[in-house]
Amino acid sequence: MIDFGLVTTIALVIATCALFLAVYRLFVGPTIMDRVASVDAIGNTLVVIFAIYAFSQQSTFLIDIAILLALISFIGTLALAKYIDKGEVF
């Protein structure tokens, strides 16, 4: 039988390591596009962490938060990319 507690713990550890790697790229990234990509990766990794934790706690409320975070992360990445490209958001 599969121990889902162990599987979710391992998945959370891996996702947290990926989050730390993205934060490192945010601070060290040599170009602005590296930093934009890392902000997007941080948002996506946080969504994955919320989804894994929601699965482990069997909470639908946390899934709603993960979906909202994914939407905000996507819109924020688009706005940041447009600002870098054109110098203005609107």
Q: What is the CATH number of the domain that holds 26?
A: 1.10.287
Q: What is the mean pLDDT of the chain?
A: 91
DSSP state of 58: T
In this predicted structure, the answer to whether residue 84 has a pLDDT above a threshold of 90 is no
Task: Give the count of domains, the chain.
Answer: 1
In this predicted structure, the answer to whether residue 59 has a pLDDT above a threshold of 80 is yes
Helices (H) and strands (E) in the chain, counts: 3, 0
In this predicted structure, the answer to whether residue 85 has a pLDDT above a threshold of 90 is no
Q: What is the pTM of this model?
A: 0.85
Contacts 24+ apart (CB under 8 A), 34-40: 36/77, 36/80, 36/81, 36/84, 39/76, 39/77, 39/80, 40/73, 40/77
| Domain interval for residue 70 | 4-86
In this predicted structure, the answer to whether residue 90 has a pLDDT above a threshold of 80 is no
Do residues 70 and 22 make contact, with C-beta atoms less than 8 angstroms apart?
A: no
